Amino acid sequence: MKERFKKWKRMFIADKQMRRVRPWFAEDGDYTYRLNYDSLDKNSIVVDLGGYKGQWASDIFSKYQSRVFVFEPVAAYFNFIKDRFKANPNISVFQLALGNRNISSEIFLNADGSSTIRKIGHSETIHFKKFDEKMTELGIEEIDLIKINIEGGEYELLEFLIENGWVRKVKNIQVQFHDFFPDAKERMKKIHLALKTTHTLTYQFEFVWENWKLNS
């Protein structure tokens, strides 16, 4: 009975997310919204958190020739994108996660993705570096576009950036919120309220993708 319930729950969650992404796919969001930034050029700084296999970083660079910093803590994906961009000096790849503290943690990997929160699948140890410390180390004082797809880690990270004021140095925040823990929606709403004091929402497909642009 317990296994049947788990299977039903997985099917329900998958169906709910499918309903969410339909409008996104209908508007071809991955190739319109996520790549459409008129302010980007070859002098722009782009930070990609959750690089996966590097396709978004590749697309952004191809379109704008910006300086791109990709962070991917999972060894297999890091090795893939490091090799993918080895001939491009304008795309730097780091086997690292960025967050609100310097720690090591277990990340769980399965066919649906990876997460430090959902303990499904096999695991490996990954390393986190405080966001502000890594930016200082890289000499980055402001970011033109940050993409955040870090499987639940976006909540702690954005709360940290809002609290310490770094969020004011980011011109565009492209983020995918995840809802696989109980208070996700309420926590997201609180982040939205805080972001509204510094940024304007330019598009939102709830729990799919959204973008916040720094107020001028």
User: Measured between alpha carbons, how far is 206 from 216 in angstroms, rounded to an integer?
Assistant: 25
Question: For 60-77, how does the pLDDT look when each residue is reduced to its tens digit (9 = 90+)?
Answer: 999 999 999 999 999 999
- Place 118 in a pLDDT band, splitting at 50, 70 and 90: low
- Place 152 in a pLDDT band, splitting at 50, 70 and 90: very high
Domains and CATH numbers, the chain: 29-214 (3.40.50.150)
Summary mean pLDDT of the chain: 90
User: Measured between alpha carbons, how far is 118 from 111 in angstroms, rounded to an integer?
Assistant: 13
User: Measured between alpha carbons, how far is 69 from 125 in angstroms, rounded to an integer?
Assistant: 22
Q: Strand 209-214 relative to strand 172-175: parallel, antiparallel, unpaired? A: antiparallel
